[in-house]
Structure 1
Amino acid sequence: MNATSTLLWMSLVGASPSSASEPLCEKRAPCTLVETQDAGQDEQGQSSQVKRLSLGWMELESGARSVGQKFGPEGRKEKGTPGTTQCEAQEWWLLRPGKPEQLLLSLCNDGKGAVREATGSAGSNHFLYTRSGVRRDSPWSSSRSVQLSPLLPGSEVNRTQRISRTTKKQKEDGDSWDFEKMSGEVVRAPSDCASGKEAPEGRTLPYLPQVQVDKAYIEGGWKQTGFASGEGECFLTADTYLQGADKVRDVNDASLTVLLVADDTLMIEVLDEKVTGPSAKWLNDDHLEVWLAPEPPQELSDCGPPTDEQLPKQWIIRIADGKVFPGFGKPEQTLQVERAQMPGKEGYWLKVKLPPDLFRGISVVYSDSDSGKGPDSRVATSKLKPGRPETLNPVYWVRPEQAVCTVRDGQLTAVRTEIKAEPGKAVLQMK
């Protein structure tokens, strides 16, 4: 979705009617219609609008309790003072022909605290809410978007700017997720280390999604089901070459995609025109590396070596026969692996049952050995450094009320879940 940049410059359209004649303000004084924005066309091709209301001032504590729902009449006054214990109540409403008005967002902002600025912008059948401020002397911003017709989850972006204690330069941390593309990432700036130095480089960690799928798919349908590519993807495609990028001939040679379908179930698709093995040494065969770590990678420092409790463990899965070998960390538990050969013998689907212990970081590597003499290329889901848990993929859990993956036309496809909200309850629930 590229609607974010479009939404930011959508201009105010038309002259707002007087608040006295605005139905959304009826019997809600104090209430002022601030602006009306063109939200583009709905799914039937009819024009929709987003209206912003100012509903006076109230005490911060009362306003915080009311956020996320239509403001009631209690405690609101026409005038207030920014920067005190008072906040300005605002609502954004979606108006679509033939449907009841839908509350998109309600908030109460004092304009001087952690949230300094908040805006809502509509256009191209989307609504984008952006807020920014300063927390502990660090500027921050966050945004949430939603598709308007039908009501579907959009995107989430968070950014924080901070000053390095060692270099005194500004650096950025953040995370993002796009429900339309079903992808996102965590960005971590170099850490300030206790030694007084800064870690040599920052990290960009792609999220590995965990998405609910059809029960029939898990029980056996996966053996006949490919992963949809392009629009409708619900998996992570490995695109980081740890070795031999120049030796990969095309997309059908050493291609790897992965998806978590449960806390302990990993689905893998490997495309390879030539599968090598089994031989006396798994290192010379085509194989997968599965890395698991007990802590979220984005919460780990990259200063110094990890503790023993933070260390990841590695398992090897040989593609030719599905046999599992222990790797780094000498894990005592094993993986349960089922395989299904893809039509045309160009690759395999694998269902991997992970150890029951909870893990918070995961990465997968495909090692391609066309020569049979060791890896010719290695493609990974993250910029993995062996033994470094902070370089693994964090997991993004997609809730069923946000999106699911379902089988369509023989392919596993992502489907966003329509948002079911009461007219007076905000679609965007902000913390």
Structure 2
Amino acid sequence: MNATGTVLLLSLLGAPPAPSSDPLCAKREPCTVTETLDAGKDARGNSLQVKHLDLGWADVETASGSIGRKFGPGGRKAKGSRAQGQCEAAEWWLVRSGQPAQLLLSVCNDGYGAAGVGQDTVTVTDNLFSHEQTGGSRERWTQSHTVQLSPLLPMSEARRSSSPSEGEAKEDGEFWDFEALRGEVARAAPTCEAGEASPGDRFLPYLPQVQVDKAYLQGGWKTAGLGACGFEAGHFLLGNQDDPKDASLKALLVTPDTLLVEVHDDKWTGPSAKWLTDDHVELWLAPQAPQELTGCGKPTDAQKPVQWGIRIVDGQVFPAFGSPKQTLQVERAELSGKQGYQLLVKLPPFKGIAVVYSDSDSGKKQELMLATSPVKFGRPEMLNPVRVVPPEEATCGVKNGELAVVRGPVKKTEPDVAVIRVE
């Protein structure tokens, strides 16, 4: 290559991308389709694509009103600078056969914080679109969303923040999986005084409250298990589980005052003169939401939880810690051929909850304790927060003899309104 050719090549490499002729860019200069990503196929076998548009620079104040919508035809420039109060505008669009293009995301990156290092990261896989945004300065934060493309449904969302505190990072945030009905939330950041201990496990699992079919509440629960809707206890408070078939516990709130509990075991013990050494469920309720508590020092009288024991083999209820005056109403049914029992428990008002199964194969002592949260005796900040699932997001219905998650209807979205809304 001669010298002239070399100069020409370098000039082309340094030149801005040529305006796109793609219909998504029509009358929207500056606008360039920087990449077209394969997103698999829809249920009918039609191809799905995601197109990424570079829309140049916009004034931050002007762009703030456009976030979550299609950027207007004017007010943007091909070149700009964050130092001049400008941000980098971009959009991602879902392109489907026979349907109008749908805006998935619009952002304008001004650095997202004083540090100026914020980023938008997009990942496209088979029928899924994920966006992660990071930013902040001394306190760093991340928020992320994942949506299914066909049909358009939210799959998960999360937010996390971290700030240094006396040499240690304090984490905050929450996560929710719309498909599995599972998530967690951080307790309030501890600001304990000298000598006041705060327990660990700042991120607490949500116990979901989900609407179920009326027929299930009226009697179907006696024959159909909790299935994928039931929250499975995964915290070992005592012992360990060599054989997963030995014992298991699931719980699900179906109304603000109705709890369903499913327990399986390979050997049942009781009744005896001491319910504590019989197989039993322990129920903890607290008057304040656990995520609002720091855990510093002893709980006040207004924060203290109360506890009941429910013996499995006969459903008898025993008041325990805190000497609760309320009486639990418990219905019990044996699940045919499944070595299991289902309990329907009517609850008094509460904000925090935890369910524990105590297994005693010997009938002489508690040998295994499974819980829905990292329960610490008498500590309200270690219980499960409740996540109320709106029916438009999901409900639970019987399928193949047990509950299954039923996603809500697809929301109608205007093509120019983003499916993912970032703050």
- Name the TM-score class by shorter chain: 0.7 to 0.9
| Post-superposition offset of 1:105 | 1.3
Deviation track 1:109-144 (CA, whole Å, cap 9, x = no partner) reads 322537822232212221111101115x11111211
1:373 aligned onto 2:374:
no
Unaligned stretches of 5+ residues in structure 1: 1-16
Separation in 2, partners of 1:345, 1:401: 32
Structure 2 residue matching 1:291: 3-state secondary structure = strand
Separation in 1, partners of 2:399, 2:199: 46
Q: Cα distance 1:144–1:102, how it changes in 2: closer, same or farther (>3 A)?
A: same
Separation in 2, partners of 1:57, 1:273: 65
Q: Cα distance 1:317–1:418, how it changes in 2: closer, same or farther (>3 A)?
A: same
User: Which residue identity lines up with residue 241 of structure 1 in the other structure?
Assistant: F
Paired position in structure 2 for 1:224: 223
Q: Is the 8 A contact 1:83 1:110 kept in 2?
A: no
User: Which residue identity lines up with residue 268 of structure 1 in the other structure?
Assistant: V
| Post-superposition offset of 1:321 | 2.2
User: Which residue identity lines up with residue 354 of structure 1 in the other structure?
Assistant: L
Q: Cα distance 1:58–1:323, how it changes in 2: closer, same or farther (>3 A)?
A: same
Paired position in structure 2 for 1:425: 417
**Residue pairs, 1:35-74, within 5 angstroms:** 35-73=35-73
**Residue pairs, 1:143-158, within 5 angstroms:** 143-158=144-159
Q: Cα distance 1:85–1:333, how it changes in 2: closer, same or farther (>3 A)?
A: farther
Paired position in structure 2 for 1:90: 90
User: Which residue identity lines up with residue 395 of structure 2 in the other structure?
Assistant: V
Q: Cα distance 1:313–1:55, how it changes in 2: closer, same or farther (>3 A)?
A: same
Structure 2 residue matching 1:277: 3-state secondary structure = coil
Separation in 1, partners of 2:310, 2:319: 9
Paired position in structure 2 for 1:9: none
**Residue pairs, 1:189-208, within 5 angstroms:** 191-195=190-194, 199=198, 201-208=200-207
Unaligned stretches of 5+ residues in structure 2: 1-16
Instruction: Give the TM-score normalised by the residue count of structure 2.
Output: 0.86
Paired position in structure 1 for 2:7: none
1:277 to 258, 270, 294: 270
| Post-superposition offset of 1:74 | 6.4
| Post-superposition offset of 1:200 | 6.3
| Post-superposition offset of 1:343 | 0.2
| Post-superposition offset of 1:63 | 2.9
1:386 to 370, 377, 389: 377
| Post-superposition offset of 1:223 | 1.2
Separation in 2, partners of 1:205, 1:91: 35
Structure 1 residue matching 2:151: 3-state secondary structure = coil
**Residue pairs, 1:126-165, within 5 angstroms:** 126-134=128-136, 137-165=138-166
Paired position in structure 1 for 2:406: 415
Q: Is the 8 A contact 2:237 2:370 kept in 1?
A: yes
Q: Is the 8 A contact 2:197 2:297 kept in 1?
A: no
Aligned residues: 404
Instruction: Give the TM-score normalised by the residue count of structure 1.
Output: 0.85
Paired position in structure 2 for 1:316: 309
Deviation track 1:35-81 (CA, whole Å, cap 9, x = no partner) reads 32222333333332111223444444443333222233465555544
Separation in 2, partners of 1:405, 1:159: 29
1:176 aligned onto 2:208:
no
Q: Cα distance 1:149–1:181, how it changes in 2: closer, same or farther (>3 A)?
A: same
| Post-superposition offset of 1:185 | 2.6
Paired position in structure 2 for 1:14: none
Separation in 2, partners of 1:315, 1:196: 31
1:328 aligned onto 2:328:
no
Separation in 2, partners of 1:311, 1:74: 59
Identity of aligned residues (%): 56
1:260 aligned onto 2:253:
yes
Q: Cα distance 1:76–1:401, how it changes in 2: closer, same or farther (>3 A)?
A: farther
1:295 to 288, 305, 313: 288
Paired position in structure 2 for 1:364: 355
Q: Cα distance 1:64–1:327, how it changes in 2: closer, same or farther (>3 A)?
A: farther
Separation in 2, partners of 1:62, 1:360: 42
Q: Is the 8 A contact 1:138 1:161 kept in 2?
A: yes
Deviation track 1:178-225 (CA, whole Å, cap 9, x = no partner) reads 233332233569834222887464434222122222222122211111
Separation in 2, partners of 1:84, 1:212: 51
**Residue pairs, 1:229-248, within 5 angstroms:** 233-245=228-240
Paired position in structure 2 for 1:101: 101
Q: Is the 8 A contact 1:190 1:202 kept in 2?
A: no
Task: Name the Cα RMSD after superposition.
Answer: 2.7
Structure 1 residue matching 2:142: 3-state secondary structure = strand
Structure 2 residue matching 1:94: 3-state secondary structure = strand
Q: Is the 8 A contact 1:83 1:111 kept in 2?
A: no
1:347 aligned onto 2:340:
yes
Paired position in structure 2 for 1:250: 243
